[in-house]
Amino acid sequence: MNTGPEQQQADGAWDKLKGNVKEGVGGALGDRKMQAEGMVDQATGEAKMKTGQAREGVEDALEHGDESQKASGVWDKVSGKVKEEWGDLTDNASLEARGQAQQAAGHAKHAAGEARDDMADRV
């Protein structure tokens, strides 16, 4: 099911809350598995929220006539950051590196879009 950015952010907030409760209950009961599940739920929720925010930013940029190259760059920067953080959290060096590479590509796309806008303004 394809949900909008607002719903994605709401789902992420729910996952974070649910994870926080699971982590706390697991800690109180001495249940390490429940604690770990809670931490994973929180990280998943944070990723959903950041992705929803990125989608919202891209949609806003496109709606207001900004270059799609800049919007794509913003998306890559945020999406790459989420991958990097998730890779770090899960000790997945490959995912972390892919996230860093995607961020770098996003910075380049955004800068190219900005440069193109500057040139168009001068003409």
Over the stretch 17-36, which tens digit does the pLDDT of each residue have? 999 999 999 999 999 999 99
pTM, entire model: 0.54
Does the pLDDT of residue 14 top 80, yes or no?
Answer: yes
Which residues neighbour 10 within 8 Å (Cβ) at sequence distance 6 or greater? Answer: none
Give mean pLDDT, residues 25-48.
91
Does the pLDDT of residue 7 top 60, yes or no?
Answer: yes
Measured CA distances, 82 to 3, 31, 35, 51, 97 (Å): 18, 28, 22, 8, 12
Backbone angles phi, psi at 48, to 5 degrees: -60, -45
Determine what percent of the chain is predicted with pLDDT higher than 90: 20
Residue-range domain boundaries for the chain:
1-65, 67-123
Does the pLDDT of residue 66 top 70, yes or no?
Answer: no
Stretch among 6-10, 56-60, 75-79, 99-103 having the lowest mean pLDDT: 56-60
pLDDT at 61: 64
Determine what percent of the chain is predicted with pLDDT higher than 70: 84
- Half-sphere exposure (CA, 13 Å, Cβ side) for 59? 9
Confidence band (pLDDT; 50, 70, 90) for 15? very high
pLDDT at 38: 92
pLDDT at 120: 59
